[in-house]
């Protein structure tokens, strides 16, 4: 099976390089190879030339605050490029696997969001990701779309990396505690994605010989997040606690992390207060168990400490 992976240098994409490998031949061209998704004009043509059976799009414009000043660029990468990928998927009869975000919701209430709940993005990033979802659906390509939340992992910039750095530099931290969601590790997202691809493509190959449920029955949008819920402050405390337990010499421990409301940490883009995602549909459709968010946080802390053990100068 030939798989085209876009965004292979990102948090999720770099993990997908590992988890997709056993499924077949993975082609992962980068922006440096000329695959710039901000110019999607010939993207469908390029994809069709490669003729993959599965297209995995882990590329995205993810700078939530910068997007407020660059709406056209965010729209090209997050909506027009996915539209072109869906066009190619449709003409190749390939599967398109795409990722979206909790930021498509407005964050009202405290109930975990279901896939069919009304959307209402609060900022440009969420709007552009929602436009990407709609563009894919409108092209009727076979697709799996995974909305995930608060991604972290061993590679790239993320909240846990920032907390470990700041805790090495400062004696106290103030962290928002009224935005609630589930931090989700890129390795988990990549593992679930690979299993889902294996499942839908296996169903297809057996379709002709056995009366199995059609793979197409599994197509659609799913919420993919670690189990449980946390505020950003909870995540910071869990990460610092685990880092200390693993021997990191931090100036700021969990006891020195002050809770502040979002109103005391203004950002260019407004974030949803309720980022909880209901993952029942994914777990039932694919027969998966999703681990607690703390497991993923521990995994990322360990990976970051192993890659960059705290030194005396970084603790000063």
Ligand X SMILES: NC(=O)c1ccc[n+]([C@@H]2O[C@H](COP(=O)([O-])OP(=O)(O)OC[C@H]3O[C@@H](n4cnc5c(N)ncnc54)[C@H](OP(=O)(O)O)[C@@H]3O)[C@@H](O)[C@H]2O)c1
Which residues are paired to 184 by β-bridges? Answer: 151
CA 62 to chain centre: 10
Q: Is 61 a catalytic residue?
A: no
Query: What span, in angstroms and rounded, lies between the C-alpha atoms of 33 and 37?
Result: 12
Query: What span, in angstroms and rounded, lies between the C-alpha atoms of 85 and 48?
Result: 9
Stretch that binds ligand X, among 28-36, 206-214, 226-234, 292-300 (CB under 6 A): 28-36
Query: What span, in angstroms and rounded, lies between the C-alpha atoms of 145 and 282?
Result: 11
Of 135, 149, 139, 101, nearest in space to 121 by CA: 101
At its nearest, how many Å lie between ligand X and the CB of residue 83?
A: 14
Q: Which is nearer to ligand X, 160 or 257 (CB)?
A: 160
Quick one: which of 4, 13, 47, 271 contacts ligand X (CB under 6 A)? Answer: 13
Instruction: Give the torsion sign (CA, 230, 236, 239, 240).
Output: negative
Binders in 270-309 for ligand X, by CB under 6 A: none
Residue 59 near ligand X by CB under 6 A? yes
Instruction: Give the torsion sign (CA, 134, 136, 138, 140).
Output: negative
Quick one: which of 19, 62, 119, 221 contacts ligand X (CB under 6 A)? Answer: 62
Binders in 82-121 for ligand X, by CB under 6 A: 99, 101
Q: Which is nearer to ligand X, 56 or 166 (CB)?
A: 56
Q: Which is nearer to ligand X, 179 or 248 (CB)?
A: 179
Under 8 Å between Cβ of 237 and 151: no
Residue 38 near ligand X by CB under 6 A? yes
DSSP 8-class letter at 80: I
Residue 71 near ligand X by CB under 6 A? no
At its nearest, how many Å lie between ligand X and the CB of residue 206?
A: 30
What residues are annotated to the active site?
Answer: 125
Residue ranges in contact with ligand X by CB under 6 A:
7, 9-13, 30-31, 35-38, 58-62, 77, 99, 101, 129, 148-151, 156
């Amino acid at each position: 099976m030939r798989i085209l992976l876009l965004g292979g240098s990102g948090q999720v994409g770099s993990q997908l390089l590992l988890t997709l490998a056993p499924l077949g031949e993975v082609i992962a061209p980068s922006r440096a190879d000329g695959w710039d998704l901000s110019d999607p004009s010939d993207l469908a043509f390029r994809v069709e030339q490669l003729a993959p059976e599965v297209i995995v799009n882990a590329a995205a414009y993810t700078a939530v605050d910068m997007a407020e000043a660059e709406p056209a660029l965010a729209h090209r990468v997050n909506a027009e490029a996915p539209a072109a990928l869906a066009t190619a998927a449709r003409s190749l009869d390939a599967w398109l696997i795409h990722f979206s975000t909790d930021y498509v919701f407005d964050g009202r209430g405290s109930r975990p969001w279901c896939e069919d709940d009304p959307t209402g993005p609060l900022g440009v990033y969420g709007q552009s990701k929602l436009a990407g979802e709609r563009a894919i659906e409108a092209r009727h390509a076979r697709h799996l779309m995974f909305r995930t939340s608060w991604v972290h992992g061993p590679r790239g910039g993320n909240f846990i990396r920032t907390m470990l750095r700041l805790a090495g530099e400062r004696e106290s931290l103030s962290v928002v505690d009224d935005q609630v969601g589930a931090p989700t590790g890129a390795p988990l997202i990549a593992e679930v994605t690979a299993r889902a691809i294996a499942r839908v493509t296996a169903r297809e190959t057996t379709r002709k010989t056995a009366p199995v449920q059609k793979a197409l029955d599994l197509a659609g949008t799913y919420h993919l997040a670690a189990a449980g819920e946390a505020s950003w402050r909870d995540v910071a405390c869990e990460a610092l606690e685990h880092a200390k337990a693993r021997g990191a010499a931090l100036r700021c421990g969990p006891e020195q992390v002050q809770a502040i409301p979002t109103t005391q940490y203004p950002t260019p883009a407004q974030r949803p207060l309720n980022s909880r995602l209901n993952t029942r549909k994914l777990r039932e459709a694919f027969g998966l168990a999703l681990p607690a968010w703390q497991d993923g946080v521990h995994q990322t802390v360990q990976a970051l400490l192993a890659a960059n053990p705290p030194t005396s100068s970084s603790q000063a």
